[in-house]
Homo-oligomer: A and B are copies of this chain.
Amino acid sequence: MKNNSFEEIGEQLRSADTVLLYTHVNMDGDCLGSAAALCAVLRGMGKESYILLEDELHDNLKFLDKGYCTYDQNIIAKPDVSMCIDCGAPDRFPKRADKFAEGRVSICVDHHATTAPFCQYNYIDPGAAATGELIYKLITAMGQEIDKEIGEALFAAITTDTGNFQYSNTTRESHEIVAALYDAGIDSNAVSVEIYETVRVEKLMIKKRILDTLELLADGRLAMAYVSQEMLAETGALMEETEGSVAELRSINKVEVAVFLKEETGGRVYISFRSKHDADVAEVAKGLGGGGHKKAAGCTLYDTSLDEAYTTVRDAVMEIFD
């Protein structure tokens, strides 16, 4: 399916009076920053527009919501436009999917590869590092001005999804767009403080406990660690707050492969694998029923204790080093 142009999508938005925007569940900086930027633009054009949510906003993203977000599905009865941002399938906003279908016109702008675009108007570009880049282009194509607030929302979107411009998805264009945002007077550091300096102390505590479990094997080339339900209960941390652990393990000098085990409930253990240079962790994950890429893969083991899973995974991954 061919993408529509930003001009075509802009024309649909221009001729609408009411626009409801949809972000995916488990919101991140890219989806909310992108939606907030567009919502500000649409309101500036005199339209009635909201971002409709179904799950809670993380504390570190709340600064992006300048009165845009709502949980009230009746806030606009039958909107002229339903538009999903940074998500390309209704199962990414399951409790709002029926409401989405109420829109007279449906639009999707996303950078995730999808098999079947489901909206009437689509712009899906897996080459974009962040949906924020696409929303920038849409706003520009609509001839609308980017002010400081809109610029900062787009900066939040792009900096989070590019891993602060360190991930390999970052492109020349990512930097060109951010360069242009500086003309709007963005305070990148203020955005950064909001996004990254709102860490619950429980997250630091679980990080500490995870480091207690660190094991270095294969002459320091393999780093393994885990988090158990007991560790979560004792620190009050959430499982999602262990995110970044496998990356921290990989950051250790000489470590080539990092493995992090999460004890989920119900006898399930989820395992993340990362490699630094040449090791192929997708092969290991596949051997355990999972999958992924050469440098980033995962699998789930069922009906197992954490101890058993740890031994199984260690033996499997050690084969890389034999």
Please give the residue numbers on chain A whose beta carbons come within 8 Å of chain B beta carbons, in ascending order.
59, 159, 164-168, 170-173, 175-176, 178-180, 182-183, 187-189, 192-193, 196-201, 204-205, 207-208, 211-212, 214, 216, 220, 248, 250-253, 255, 276-277
Contact = CB atoms under 8 A, between A and B. Distances in A.
Contact of A179 (B175, B183, B192): B175
Interface centre among A59, A188, A207, A212, by most chain B C-beta atoms within 10 angstroms, is A188
Nearest to A182: B172
Contacts of A207: 211
Contacts of A182: 171-172, 175
Contacts of A198: 251, 253
A192 B170 CA distance: 12
B179 A167 contact: no
A157 to B, nearest CB: 14
Contact of A253 (B164, B167, B200, B255): B200
Contact of A176 (B165, B170, B179, B205): B179
Interface centre among A164, A197, A250, by most chain B C-beta atoms within 10 angstroms, is A197
Nearest to A177: B175
Contacts of A179: 172-173, 175-176, 179
Given A164-B166, A178-B175, A251 B196 contact: yes
Contact of A211 (B193, B204, B214): B204
A59 B200 CA distance: 32
Interface centre among A193, A196, A216, A248, by most chain B C-beta atoms within 10 angstroms, is A193
A167 B189 contact: yes
A255 B204 CA distance: 13
A204 B199 contact: no
Contacts of A183: 172
Nearest to A198: B253
B208 A212 contact: yes
A107 to B, nearest CB: 29
Contacts of A166: 159, 164, 188-189, 192, 196
Given A164-B164, A253-B198, A248 B204 contact: yes
A223 to B, nearest CB: 8
Contacts of A159: 165-166
12 contacts: A164-B166, A165-B178, A168-B188, A170-B188, A171-B182, A173-B179, A175-B179, A176-B179, A199-B252, A201-B253, A204-B214, A208-B211
B168 A276 contact: no
Given A172-B183, A179-B175, A204-B211, A193 B276 contact: yes
